[in-house]
Structure 1
């Protein structure tokens, strides 16, 4: 990125600072020059103006002062929150601003309370084809007639524990979670359609022991690949999920077992890769999961089914975290909105007993409702 170059023009009340090379600076950062200019205006408390590729700020501002301000823009709106790489793109999803890192794949939140965030929501960046990205659902994204921006604004007058919306994605007590927890109490009479499918790869302890008895007279190679993959992962991580093989080794094992293209593979992974820290672990295995799911509907359904089986049979303590788990797989673009909505509105015996399936979906209802409301809001706009 070239250093900022500025030039002062005019005199008296009409004195202005021209940023000579703002186009080059903005191009190096991968951001529209108007975003940088508006940021300068908000940070320096000065009016800005763009006219025929000339970028002006009222008053006298030295290049060093502008460079310092630019560092703030880079930290807040460019650098990845995880690896600090500048190769990011701004995404707008349901009224939230995110930096999507092309280096590590991490999605980091942008503070919605900053004035520039409001400007970006109203003036979304263009994609590679020059088409403006959608900025719908900027209001009512959490339900109750309030936007994320409104909630963040109200929250700024509250206690200091919720002072930074930028950390919302990592805080169990973030705004969305609070809303979900508040709505969860009203779900006792929820009605959900029933789907009576009844097949799945069961990686519960009882199922593994039962299969082991059946396979006493078979070689390992003769048993199905999904069972081998699941039992291998469970054996490797018997003491802790930190002992799991690397994603590369897991991928090689899947290739060796010749089950790369099968949706049941991701279902088995959903039952064996996670423990109580499932939200963080989804992010850790994001590259592997995306490579296997590949945006295919059957694989997405299988992954959700595997999570349902793991949570419903092996770790029911996670049931109360189902909304946040769904938010994570949706936010990371592992599972599409359509698949989540279809899953959340139909009880199925495919992966667990009907009563457990209904219990898991009741826990998911606040997130499903939020997704439906945001979808309706988008349709109306």
Structure 2
């Protein structure tokens, strides 16, 4: 949906339009971030390099930013909704896009240098000819002064100078997200941090310094990683260094690239890992669980396990009960992991859908469910809860097929419920029987058959009667 660039104008025929921002939240915990999916398109409609509004988002939200113009990824750390970002974008437009006189978004940004005194940021309107200073001197304005736009206004000028005499005869430094769209890093001694915030200099006085962006000195970026971590050469060096580590350590490494993976990408990686282990005959349940945890799909991994390991309808029961039971147990953990068992039930529906010609039968489906149940992979509670929930096309892809699966599995579910009720009745009868036996024993003890006194009387020594104390000492010589 297209919006008016100046959203204060409600005219539907307003000719300056821009796309609505699309934001997607990725990751979780400390790694959560918001990817602005269509930032290049929005920036093009505004006539500005996409890094400018991204930088403005970071300044307004007090958040670190990341950008890779080559791959058109613009990221703001933290979780932020589209409406909030759209409102902040309106503020950016008022300050850096609209003409201060005619309010048309027809301006070009001009950086006028003043030698050692720094520079001045001006906006020249192509509609009315107004040339006026930009009414802002914040972090974004300082960034634009050091990273002016090129002639098109849609990218940063090549060799943009920060005003500090860096490397090279012209006193320029390599910058992230330059006019060539790459992700080169500032490596000059004066360059300061060259991480996600793109050449943030320690003397800039930005809020980044207050947020601890420069922790670690000049060789670290804003997240405490070695500078240039997003540069392709540095990525290759990191991969090469990781490859030299033992395999047991490599499995524990969670890279930045992995944090950016979608759930489907994670499942695909686990599928590849499991397939390779199966082909090589090195199917270790513990190793598979570690890889699933590293990819953050611990419970959902069972969907992939079923897809890869159960590939033959003829041997399903033996594969479940014997061949691959240790692998399944490592993920579903008997009755302990109900969440993984629910995903396993979904995997069973997917399995039946895949081999529907062989498995969609009144005998095969109950036998299949019984195989999982007998192997302690699915509990009674999980199976009964699945049956009560009813058909769904989430896993089978077809609600009608899911309904058929539920109908054919109903005899087995009924047997489970009946067995559970009979077991409860037997337990009640056993408890009642035990209570009766305990009552009879108590009556016997307190009745005629009991000994009323601990003192025993017996004849001895010529008919004389002696009283024997049960606790009296025994003379061994008289035995």
For the aligned pair, the TM-score class normalised by the smaller chain equals 0.3 to 0.5
Higher relative contact order (CA closer than 8 Å, sequence separation 6+): 1
TM-score by length of 2: 0.30
* Higher helix content, 1 or 2: 1
TM-score, normalization: structure 1? 0.37
The structure with the larger Rg is 2
